[in-house]
Amino acid sequence: MSSQTPLWASADFWRKVAIWVTAGSFVILITLTFDSLAKITPGYKQVPAYNVINREIDYKSDAQHLRYIPVVGKEAPLFGRLWSDSEAEALVTLGKKTIQAKNCMNCHTLLGNGAYYAPDLTRAWLDPNWSSSDEREARMLAFLLDPEKNAVTFGSGRKMPNLGITDKEAHGVVAFLKWMSAIDTNGFPHNFKSINHQQD
């Protein structure tokens, strides 16, 4: 009987095709998973290592790609000191966990994810509303510890509630926001202004 059935119509042929397609897809999926993990790991070229919190961060427009790209500049201690690699990781991680625990995404977006009640926080570190690079850290801390009293509101009249974060957590959040602002997000968010707005 099998001698009369053409190859493409035989059950055996399609069983083999199914096995090869499944195995091939599996290999592609595993490869893409590792590729994505590498790209979002701190230290990869678009996601800086945590010790970037020891550096000046700014932006310049990249005329060729029509987008802003981060510029990691000279040494710029955070909270008056330089952080070792492991200290920087611990501080940024504390900030990330605080942001998760307090569910800041209920109102804000981070890297475009979250809600649209309040400003996107991806570049919050660079916001000109902190007045100057020198005052930024102190103002951010004061704001996070008592957002009602230090409200900026950006003309929206909306105020951020006091979320009761500790002084240590606020330091972590500031470090996290500084680190996040150095991620090359392929131009997101579009057209934001930074404190030391650089022209090309």
Binding site for ligand HEC (CB under 6 A): 98-99, 102, 104, 106-108, 117-119, 121, 124, 127, 129, 144, 147, 151-154, 158-161, 163, 165, 173
Q: Which is nearer to ligand HEC, 60 or 102 (CB)?
A: 102
CB of 93 to ligand HEC, least distance (A): 14
CB of 22 to ligand HEC, least distance (A): 44
- DSSP string across 35-83: HHHHHHSBTBTTB--GGGGGEEEEEEEETTTTEEEEEEEEE--BTTB--
132 φ, ψ (degrees, to nearest 5): -150, 160
Q: Which is nearer to ligand HEC, 88 or 121 (CB)?
A: 121
CB of 165 to ligand HEC, least distance (A): 6
Point out which residues pair with 72 in neighbouring strands.
57
57 φ, ψ (degrees, to nearest 5): -125, 130
Q: Is the peptide bond before 189 cis (omega within 30 degrees of 0)?
A: yes
CB of 26 to ligand HEC, least distance (A): 40
